[in-house]
Copies of this chain bind each other. A is one copy, B any other.
Amino acid sequence: MALIVQKFGGTSVKDTERLQEVAKWVVKNKEEGNKMVVVVSAPGGMTDSLIKRAEEVNSNPQGRELDVLLSVGEQISAALLSMAIEQLGHKAISFTGPQVGIKTTNDFNNAKILDISPEKIMEKLNSDHVVIITGFQGADENGNITTLGRGGSDTTAVAVGAAISADQVEIYTDVDGIYTADPRVVKNAGKIPQVSFTEMIEMAGKGAKVLHCRSVELAAKYGIDIHLRSAFTWEEGTWVKGDEKMEKAMVRGITHVKGLAKLTITQLESNNYLSDVMDILEDREIDIRLVSQGLNPSGHFEISFLLEEKEAVRVSKLIQEKLGNKENIDVKLNLGMVSAIGIGVRSNRLQGSVMRILNNNGIKPKMMSSSETSLSYVVAEENVDKLKRLMHDELIEKSLSA
């Protein structure tokens, strides 16, 4: 008998038929002798349509009220799933985040979970209930409803898992696991049976969209195993586990991001401005993928940021306001980034292999970065798919067949 937390995303609960499939699966797991906690997202599409309604009445809706509005979707899923499980002859009870004591910061629309009280959940599990909890939401210390931002239901599931010391957290979605590369780009990409938390965090940060980064960090912190799998095929997916539980492997997967821009501030007399610029970017919550800085040939400081293309104009204006000199900023659009993820990828041999690929194919990297578990190359967007396939062939296919 295990204590299992299962999380179901929006596509898994989007209509009556899908809800009934989920109910059957939860009941099957319960009948196998497990204690079941289920975390649900809003029905697919509902959050977007609620945002649209909000924008109809207010061009810039209050964050607090937006959270009151957006939290209803998960409540609908939770109540309906509870009814569907009871219809199958098992006791079920739903709780909203605030009801089950999910305490968060008061950063509306992007709150962080501070604490979860396990008592109510455990009490209902012990009286043989399936416990259903709304994902994505909680309450601040004054009882205001808060939401955790996009993908926040994954974080709810892991945080609940940690609070009740669950044996495992299963994240059900519309893909059947994590692949060595995007199968739409790289035909021979394969499903990865197991990755480490560190690798998963690198993958999420470098373009793999399946798991919310914060949820993996939380799982790593509390040592909760995550099983990412499909709510459509119900087959085994990918396990995300502690590093110490992993067998060693070189390259776990190749990820990519497109639609990036590089913004370079040149001719800086000193680097005194840099911390100011970083503060501006932090305040506006602008996601900077890579930063590189140094002296350029003429002896001036220079700093480059890699960011979403759609943010480039706004950010360059923000920086211009700060620095007061237009000519200092250079923007390159139409970039992408390809990354190799895996423990030990920073080895000289691997970096050498990629250099050879780039040279042989006439692809010029615009930026590069490496960490213990990732190697990233920023290239012209038109070269992203090609580079991805080449790196997959060289770094994954060859070592698999070796």
Contact = CB atoms under 8 A, between A and B. Distances in A.
A16 B53 CA distance: 7
B69 A57 contact: no
B84 A78 contact: no
A198 interface: no
A86 B72 contact: no
Interface string A37-65: 00000000000001001101111011011
Given A99-B143, A143-B99, A54 B68 contact: no
B79 A94 contact: no
Nearest to A19: B57
Contacts of A83: 54, 57-58, 61-62, 65-66, 69
Interface in A186-220: none
A147 to B, nearest CB: 12
Contact of A72 (B23, B61, B75): B75
Contacts of A71: 75
Contacts of A93: 64-65
A57 B87 contact: yes
Contact of A69 (B19, B80, B99): B80
Interface of A: 16, 19-20, 23, 50, 53-54, 56-59, 61-62, 64-66, 68-69, 71-72, 75-76, 78-80, 82-84, 86-87, 92-94, 96, 99, 143-145
